Amino acid sequence: DGGITQSPKYLFRKEGQNVTLSCEQNLNHDAMYWYRQDPGQGLRLIYYSQIVNDFQKGDIAEGYSVSREKKESFPLTVTSAQKNPTAFYLCASSIHSFEGGNTEAFFGQGTRLTVV
């Protein structure tokens, strides 16, 4: 089945530890995204990537890092510098806007990160 997979679904970490969230897609999409969701704040863009080996900061990139070494994978690392990392994290993918600007994004099921 084609789709986008995030793992794990739930993640617990101690304060001060880095943690990496996985996002894999087999849709052959070039563009991939990471969003953070907090109650009442909607989805806020952390990072996005239009192509392999390239990515851009979103609105709340501080304390996060990403890599895009393969087309199908876009892992997100939540570093110890992120002051309030407990949240629901969503990954998405899409084709490029120049291939079809009004093409929708496909979302994974999310990872709920709790830092204690």
Partner 1 sequence: AQSVAQPEDQVNVAEGNPLTVKCTYSVSGNPYLFWYVQYPNRGLQFLLKYITGDNLVKGSYGFEAEFNKSQTSFHLKKPSALVSDSALYFCAVRLRDDKIIFGKGTRLHILP
For residue 87, the minimal CB distance to partner 1 (Å) is 13
Q: What angle do CA 43, 41, 22 make, to 5 degrees?
A: 35
For residue 94, the minimal CB distance to partner 1 (Å) is 7
Most distant pair of Cα atoms in the chain: their distance: 43
CA 6 distance to own-chain centroid: 9
Nearer to partner 1, 53 or 109 (CB): 109
- Residue 86 in tokens: 């407990």
What residues line the site for partner 1 (CB under 8 A)?
6, 31, 33, 35, 40-43, 45, 48, 50, 56, 58, 88, 90, 92, 94, 96-97, 101-102, 104-110, 112
